[in-house]
Structure 1
Amino acid sequence: MNSVVVALQQLQLALNAEFADAPGLQQLSCAVTLSDASDALAWLTTQRLYPQFYWQQRNGDDEIAALGALRQFDTLAAARAFIADHADQPALRITGINAFSPDSSCLFLPRLEWRRTGGDAFVYLHLFSETSLQEDARAAQQFLAQLLPAKQLPMQRLNCVGEQHIPTQPEWNQLIERATAAIEQRELEKVVLARATDLQFTCGVSAAAFMASSRRVNLNCYHFLMVFDASHAFLGSSPERLWRRIDSALRTEALAGTVANHPDDHRAWSMGQWLLKDDKNQRENMLVVEDICQRLQKNVGAIEVLPPQVVRLRKVQHLRRCIWSDLAQPDDAACLAMLQPTAAVAGLPRDAARDFIASHEPFEREWYAGSAGYLSQRQAEFCVALRSAKVTNNIVRLYAGAGIVAGSDAALEWQEIENKAAGLRTLLTKTTF
């Protein structure tokens, strides 16, 4: 077994072999020894090659650090078609993010991928060319020659000098009035409305350090980081799975209904018990469950909805119901079309809710409330891109949303999005719980 450095050296040597002067796709791999010093995020974000994508499953069992794009895909359907065309490469993974509007993606086949599953880790080097693998092997050698040894992730000392909510609280109150009026008139059953908060700092913000801080304290979450270039990144720590597929087995969930968390375990438990019994939150969660089941029913077998659970996070607690089934055809593009956006991030009916958001929300969601993860021939997993932020040089845009149903109160919903945004905000402004 090898350190990452030794594994990369072995892959460099493997590139000295003879490769066909013809089109093709080839995957080279080398096992990596894990140690306390192994940090895929630190290794990835030390590099000065792009794009970069980091993703960790919420139970910590699956971790990806992907670097450089051999092929990029602007839809998940195109990525799925590429995998189908190369069915002889079952270990191939395509990684990245899907926008809130699921017909737009930033997915890529990485040149280099550091992948850990449980206690096993490998580095994969991909060669792909529509003309000559031999030429691409030379390009891969040049790519590997540019890699840098991993550095410790930097500690950030940030000074916030500006803050802007979009919408402002008075504008939010008006937005909730419009939404509840539409619900009363039966134009909608539910709409999920979001707020963007722009924080301006005196120096550039390290997206890698921001991600590392979030990963350290926001437990039981998926962690994802998409670095487009040296100045632009999107990241988050999300509690919610969009879907997981292993062969045809499908796992999804309804995560809706929120109450604050508390550092005192007994107080937190009491608040969680209230959440389990609260009519408004139970109604909000069941709307999502029913919508998911309706969307799945034509493409799956029997659907099993598990009893509700309380998911305790750093700043908030949520209601979750897991939904299990089997796909008639293991098609990830179909999963995306069926499940995104869910009622938990858009509303019901879905098309009417999306129209309301497009007409009334005063900012573009872009990647927020989309999804982040990977797909492969045998399995795929994407989380909902919540509790997320966009980093652009010295400006960080934080996103948070709340589900609006009949009886929603604007002040309470504002406090809910404050609580949700605090999971990332406190990492930047040094505010304690």
Structure 2
Amino acid sequence: MIYFKLPFDENLYTTDHHLNTDSVCFYSFDNAQQLNFPGNIVELSPEEFEKASITNESLPDNKDHFTAETKTEYLQKLEKVIEVIKENELPKLVLSRRKIFTDFSNIDLKQGFKNLCTSYPNAFRYMFIDDENAWMGAFSEVLGKFNKITHQFETMSLAGTLPVSESWSEKEIEEQKPVSGYIKNILKNYAVHIEESDTYDHISGNIKHLRTDFKAEIKPEEVDKIIQELHPTPAVCGIPKDFCKENIQKFEKFPRELYAGYIKIETEDTIYYFVNLRCAKLYRNSVHLFVGGGITAQSNPEKEWIETELKSQAVLKNLVLG
């Protein structure tokens, strides 16, 4: 079962389980895993959602038995990553970790999802449970949006993170620039004219990012190809892509699974591709929160740790744990 809300849309949707179409698909960071939810997208009333049987018993048992990294371990790893960045003159490398929370005996899944939807109205918000997986998340980065009628393709450059009250420094500004350049270099191979917005603040709960929007008219048959070129973007991987992917596998303690992958939602006239960032994998007895940050030569490990702690609250503060 899957439940989701589109950005700035308070209607609740699910799929009707018809086997002739897959309207909702989740792709893992490494593209090795794909989860399809069969059926057409249908709207669900609040009353129908309340009647649905979504309890703690629906969640899978945790068979992974991962142990979270300590702060000291993570800071030491960041120092090594910064060395690699400096040695290879990388603009950015994205490092992530799992924050594992076990101090509870029950999760109120319905209320947690409703809280998440209220907290992030501008995000794609979802919760799904199947035989082996249960995930919940909310994030507003659009990897791609394609209008089937006008053939207009939209995407965004989203990078740099600070608490809402703080001012941007050179570190965040420099972190966002190569993300914009990366997107433009891909789009120019598919479109004659690319429309680019000014860079502005994108608020997401208790934190903000730097954002630049891009629009271009492209051929329908090239949409999936563009998405494959865009993913993983520098915002979730780094630059250059292949070198950073290799180092992510080398340095990160856990597989990312669906974290930093993307979600494809296809409606009658639009195809959406959302980056799966502020998310958590749910078990009966533990919550695995996936968090990360863009590391540059100017990064301060202590500040990077604080940033991941802030990001972990995006889902955790909305969960109702007993």
Q: 1:410 & 1:393 partners in 2: Cα distance? A: 33
CA deviation after TM superposition for structure 1 residue 183, in Å: 1.2
Confirm or deny: 8 A CA contact 1:188 1:349 kept in the other structure: yes
* SS in structure 1 at match of 2:229: helix
CA deviation after TM superposition for structure 1 residue 295, in Å: 2.2
Answering whether residue 9 of structure 2 is matched by residue 60 of structure 1, we say: yes
1:427 is aligned, of 300, 318, 322, to: 318
CA deviation after TM superposition for structure 1 residue 152, in Å: 7.8
Structure 1 pair 429/150, CA: closer, same or farther in 2 (3 Å)?
closer
What is the CA RMSD across the aligned residues, in angstroms?
A: 2.7
Answering whether residue 128 of structure 2 is matched by residue 226 of structure 1, we say: yes
Structure 1 ranges of 4+ moved more than 6 A = 152-156
Larger RCO (CA under 8 A, 6+ residues apart): 2
Deviations 1:202-249 (A, max 9, x none): 4343444322221122332210222213x7311201021111000221
Structure showing greater radius of gyration is 1
1:240 is aligned, of 134, 141, 144, to: 141
* SS in structure 2 at match of 1:428: coil
Q: 2:237 & 2:275 partners in 1: Cα distance? A: 12
Structure 1 pair 69/101, CA: closer, same or farther in 2 (3 Å)?
farther
Q: 1:219 & 1:369 partners in 2: Cα distance? A: 20
2:95 is aligned, of 190, 193, 208, to: 193
Matched residue type, 1:387 = R
2:43 is aligned, of 111, 115, 120, to: 115
Q: 1:251 & 1:62 partners in 2: Cα distance? A: 22
Matched residue type, 1:167 = E
Q: 2:228 & 2:125 partners in 1: Cα distance? A: 23
Alignment-derived partner of residue 140 in structure 1:
none
Confirm or deny: 8 A CA contact 2:112 2:320 kept in the other structure: no
Normalised to the residue count of structure 2, the TM-score between the two structures is: 0.86
CA deviation after TM superposition for structure 1 residue 354, in Å: 0.7
CA deviation after TM superposition for structure 1 residue 68, in Å: 3.2
Work out the number of aligned pairs and report it.
Answer: 309
Structure 1 pair 152/109, CA: closer, same or farther in 2 (3 Å)?
closer
Confirm or deny: 8 A CA contact 1:102 1:337 kept in the other structure: no
Confirm or deny: 8 A CA contact 1:260 1:315 kept in the other structure: yes
Alignment-derived partner of residue 253 in structure 1:
156
Q: 1:286 & 1:167 partners in 2: Cα distance? A: 31
Confirm or deny: 8 A CA contact 2:82 2:297 kept in the other structure: yes
Structure 1 pair 424/99, CA: closer, same or farther in 2 (3 Å)?
same
The percent identity for this pair of structures is 23
* SS in structure 2 at match of 1:372: strand
Normalised to the residue count of structure 1, the TM-score between the two structures is: 0.65
Alignment-derived partner of residue 344 in structure 1:
235
1:381 is aligned, of 236, 250, 272, to: 272
Deviations 1:87-116 (A, max 9, x none): xxxxx7611211112353212331x64238
CA deviation after TM superposition for structure 1 residue 196, in Å: 0.6
Q: 2:10 & 2:290 partners in 1: Cα distance? A: 27
Answering whether residue 49 of structure 2 is matched by residue 100 of structure 1, we say: no
